[in-house]
Amino acid sequence: MGWTCTYKEPGVSMTQWFVERGVLRWSGESPYAYKVLDSAMVRFVHYAAIEKTAKATGQRVVFATVILTKSFRKGADGHNFCWKDMGESEGPCEDRCPARILDLLSPTDSEYANGWRQRCRDRIALDRAMPSLKPGVRVRFSTPVQFSSGAVSDLVIDRTDRANVICTSQEAPGNRYKLPRRWIKDHHAQGTLKFDAPAVSTTSRQGTADLFTPDARAA
């Protein structure tokens, strides 16, 4: 199924909106009753654990749904929101489903669903293995990364904030580099960067020097 676009009212939770729109609501004439047990939005992707109970026997299974979303400024057509929904048995590419939702799912014989669940578990394990991003930690890239000031292969964390990590490099003294935390997590999961424990203490440089960011091709 492709993308569906419409207008989404502000202030309505994503799960509630999908239920009201029928994306996560099934016909009452179905021999099964459905219920959303838990859900989460992670990076514009909606994950949910859905309980499916046979009305005649009470037998239940719990499966996962994955809904991609896009929000944007209201256009001439009145639309400001698009979504694309799929079941776990379709083998979604998005694999950041929280553990609490995975833990609710019933065993399945679906090869695609089991593969997706394992990828999500692997992603969770990688995220938990991320070291503390503190000053002095060395960030080493498997291949040089192109920044707006040129390529570097080795950085040292200078300071951090909620969204970004500010680094320096012995390859280009005086330059500072801004790495989004999300970018670091993605490249750590891909195995394209590694961390070394701090070798020496560092002093944060919070001056007004230019900050260089990764080239879009390195994202």
Tell me the pLDDT tens digit for each residue of 99-147: 999 999 999 999 999 999 999 999 899 888 888 888 999 999 999 999 8
- Indicate if 14 and 97 belong to the same structural domain: yes
Tokens 């012995």 locate to: 170
Of 85, 71, 1, 6, the C-alpha closest to 39 is: 85
Distance CA 142, CA 193 (A): 6
Do 2 and 84 meet the contact criterion of CB atoms below 8 Å apart? yes
Of 67, 13, 57, the C-alpha closest to 33 is: 57
Tokens 């639309």 locate to: 79
Ordered alpha helix ranges (H), 70-162:
99-102, 111-129
The mean pLDDT of 57-76, rounded to a whole number, is 95
Given a cut of 60, whether residue 208 has pLDDT beyond it is: no
Q: How confident is the model at residue 203 (pLDDT cuts 50, 70, 90)?
A: very low
- Indicate if 100 and 82 belong to the same structural domain: yes
pLDDT of residue 211: 62
Q: Which of 129, 161, 177 is the last residue of a domain?
A: 129
The mean pLDDT of 198-205, rounded to a whole number, is 51
Distance CA 90, CA 81 (A): 23
- Indicate if 121 and 97 belong to the same structural domain: yes
The mean pLDDT of 184-207, rounded to a whole number, is 71
User: CA end-to-end span of the chain, whole Å?
Assistant: 28
Q: How confident is the model at residue 209 (pLDDT cuts 50, 70, 90)?
A: very low
Question: Domain limits at 187?
Answer: 138-218
Would the CA dihedral through 82, 118, 98, 162 be positive or negative? negative
- Indicate if 87 and 143 belong to the same structural domain: no
- Indicate if 88 and 188 belong to the same structural domain: no
Would the CA dihedral through 56, 61, 62, 64 be positive or negative? negative
Longest CA–CA span in the chain (Å) reads 72
Supply the DSSP string of 166-198, one letter for each residue. Answer: EEE-TTSTT-EEEEEHHHHHHHHHHTSEEEE--
Q: How confident is the model at residue 1 (pLDDT cuts 50, 70, 90)?
A: low
Q: Which of 76, 95, 129 is the last residue of a domain?
A: 129
- Indicate if 104 and 165 belong to the same structural domain: no
- Indicate if 120 and 16 belong to the same structural domain: yes
The amino acid sitting at 190 is Q
Given a cut of 60, whether residue 56 has pLDDT beyond it is: yes
**Domain count along the chain:** 2
Distance CA 107, CA 63 (A): 9
The amino acid sitting at 19 is V
pLDDT of residue 204: 47
More confident residue, 132 or 88: 88
- Indicate if 109 and 214 belong to the same structural domain: no
- Indicate if 110 and 29 belong to the same structural domain: yes
- Indicate if 22 and 107 belong to the same structural domain: yes
- Indicate if 114 and 142 belong to the same structural domain: no
Q: What are phi and psi of 33, to 5 degrees?
A: -105, 140
Given a cut of 50, whether residue 91 has pLDDT beyond it is: yes
Q: Which of 112, 129, 146 is the last residue of a domain?
A: 129
Q: What are phi and psi of 191, to 5 degrees?
A: 80, 20
pLDDT of residue 191: 84
- Indicate if 61 and 78 belong to the same structural domain: yes
pLDDT of residue 202: 45
Coil, strand or helix at 138: strand
pLDDT of residue 141: 92
